[in-house]
Chain A
């Protein structure tokens, strides 16, 4: 890490050579590239995203429509027209897997982002102000961590939106179901990020540059946004990554149980809705969606783990 420390010390002596002028992110990228599992995970995830985005092009190319049901073509085997066969309603399985992946990945990212912003804000406030506010916010976090999340999510997913003032058609629309699952998962899965940001804030706020900023009259919001947040960014990135994996699992199990993404919109979870029937009639169809969830989440987790090591200067490997 000496390249980072030298510019100040060198002062006026000579210019920095181009090779020395590595940014911290270039260094981290360099360290990250040393992790075979991390790099492999990144490649796998990129391939998965490309796979999911191929849905439209595949339909156009093969001349099929993933929403088209045809009860005369239920559970067809693999063929030239349907590369992975058809499902219980005669729809193309491959195209639905791609569309389902778009939904599952999008839910994972959006729920993590929304819950993450909430968690980051909470962690910053608790860590920066400390005292009573910290105490109250951390009790809230501890209380949330202690809850059995899945039953709670099921209850939240079962809430009848018409009783909250939504119109009947809005309450049963596909897009409301999509945003509802994002929001309810975000509502419960922000605790890990909040705790990590709080801990990082506690250590960063004692640094000299924060005192200097405060001394020169910067207000709290500016200090948190300009000085503390950028210096806690690495644990935040790692925590976000690991959260995406957990959220995708939550989405899949909720959709599977019937409280998440509502058919006909496919998601990797709800494509297993009729699993009991699939097990006996078309076992392969029970394997694909879950396998894709499994591959996605394990890649995300390996990626998070590799980043954790790459971002931590004390870590040896």
Chain B
């Protein structure tokens, strides 16, 4: 077990290293370079000064050298400076991370609860009317463009009914708990509706398979009540593949969060990455992207571990 974790951590580290190089290289291909951007706000800058600045920042060096320098700095805890925020990258990242955590945690929890209820009730009678209805809902969740879903929610609840705010994270001067909740409601709803579709399909498939297994028939033959069979015998076993797939879907969850945050002007990680790419804030974009990759890889590792923890038949060598 310990050797498995060590090996997977090592693998994760290698993937992260490769990704950091790829993303670093791509950042170099973004429009404009830092010195050009400086020159744009300082019209008096001469070409000599620009060449000097390039030399100071090491921008005249080949890609490998620049990457190696950046990597050494990052490994010693220096993530660089955000151009647009004029603050160290980590100071910008931390509040954004917190905001994304709120959004993702809330919608993830809701999605899991909803998908368990919907998935189990449709698996009880495949082909029945509940199943047809739930399946329509699930397919809708998978197929809806999340930015459009967000638009429809804004049109309905913010513009039309005027129940909830259309964007932002809280009113200036208020920002209390309930104010924040009100501002989070629509983003959480959008993300939840989009995620629940996929989750429900997984729960349903796992549940149908489990309900056909011998131990369920045995339990039934012994006279165990149907509620107990479903909730204790079957659901526990169906949870094994479900937990794994939930952890594996972290990447797409984050992609959804990016769109949702952009639509509702929530200053989270997704919007931060999007904004930093748009405004050529290379340091911030780089660290943001790598952090998103790192978290996704960690979620995948957790998925593997959960698989082992939940199913005693699986052993890792």
Contacts and interface: CB of A to CB of B under 8 A. Distances in A.
Given A159-B30, A160-B29, A286-B155, A151 B143 contact: no
Interface in B23-53: 23, 26-32
A286 B289 contact: no
A107 to B, nearest CB: 14
Given A146-B300, A159-B26, A301-B142, A272 B151 contact: yes
A298 interface: yes
A147 to B, nearest CB: 6
B308 interface: no
A148 B293 contact: yes
B95 interface: no
Given A159-B26, A160-B29, A279-B154, A151 B148 contact: no
B292 to A, nearest CB: 5
Interface stretch (A24-32, A85-93, A250-258): A250-258
A279 B151 contact: yes
- The secondary structure that dominates the B interface is helix
A207 interface: no
Contact of B159 (A164, A280, A300, A302): A280
A159 B32 CA distance: 10
Interface stretch (A9-17, A110-118, A289-297): A289-297
A272 B289 CA distance: 26
A234 to B, nearest CB: 19
B143 A298 contact: yes
Nearest to B148: A290
Contact of A151 (B146, B278, B289): B289
A38 interface: no
A294 B144 contact: yes
Interface residues of B, number: 49
A302 B30 contact: no
Interface stretch (B77-85, B227-235, B248-256): B248-256
A247 to B, nearest CB: 12
Contact of B151 (A163, A252, A290, A317): A290
Interface string B270-290: 100110011000000100110
A150 B273 CA distance: 11
Interface string B229-251: 00000000000000000001001
B298 to A, nearest CB: 10
B296 interface: yes
A301 B139 contact: yes
Contact of A298 (B139, B148, B273): B139
Given A293-B148, A294-B144, A298-B140, A147 B251 contact: yes
B147 interface: yes
B155 A257 contact: no
Contacts of A146: 15, 251, 293, 296-297, 300
A313 interface: no
Nearest to A268: B145
Interface of B: 15, 18-19, 23, 26-32, 127, 139-140, 142-149, 151-152, 154-155, 159, 166, 248, 251-252, 254-255, 258-259, 262, 270, 273-274, 277-278, 285, 288-289, 292-293, 296-297, 300
- 10 closest cross-chain pairs (CB), A and B: A290-B148, A150-B255, A298-B143, A297-B143, A160-B31, A148-B251, A159-B29, A148-B254, A148-B292, A163-B29
Interface of A: 143, 145-152, 154-156, 158-160, 163-164, 245, 249, 252-253, 256-258, 269, 272, 275, 279-280, 283, 286-287, 289-291, 293-294, 297-298, 300-302, 305, 317
Given A146-B293, A294-B140, 12 more contacts: A147-B19, A148-B292, A148-B293, A150-B255, A159-B29, A160-B29, A163-B29, A286-B151, A293-B148, A297-B142, A298-B139, A302-B139
